[in-house]
Amino acid sequence: MEIKKIMCCCGSGLGSSMLVHMNVEKVLNKMGKSGVEVTHSSLSDASETAADLIVVGKDLAAFVGHLPRKIVLDNIMDLNELENKLKEWF
């Protein structure tokens, strides 16, 4: 499946999800990937149909365990980890 939309989620959809959103855009640019819509939202919006790929921190891993296309970050500030995990999908 081609990844065209990535949703970054946190508990409220405002703080860490926005930070991860910015980091995903930064890493996608570095990887030379364009045409991917990146959004951020609360965990309650995370679903299989909401986006092609969901990105969360490890504290929320249990809440997205049922989703087939997800990235769980051990450290939401680690751009290398994010890049390595995104490369698995692109």
50 class by beta-carbon count within 10 Å (0-12 exposed, 13-18 middle, 19+ buried): middle
What's the CATH code of the domain at 79?
3.40.50.2300
Domain that holds residue 24: 5-87
Sequence-distant (≥ 6) Cβ neighbours of residue 52 within 8 angstroms? 1, 2, 3, 4, 5, 6, 69
Dihedrals φ, ψ of 70, to 5°? -150, 155
Q: Are 71 and 9 in contact (CB under 8 A)?
A: no
What is this structure's pTM? 0.94
Mean pLDDT for the chain overall: 95
> Given this model, what pLDDT does residue 1 score?
76
- Total number of domains in the chain: 1
Chain segment 26-67, per-residue pLDDT in tens: 999 999 999 999 999 999 999 999 999 999 999 999 999 999
**Could you tell me the two tokens for 7?**
């949703």
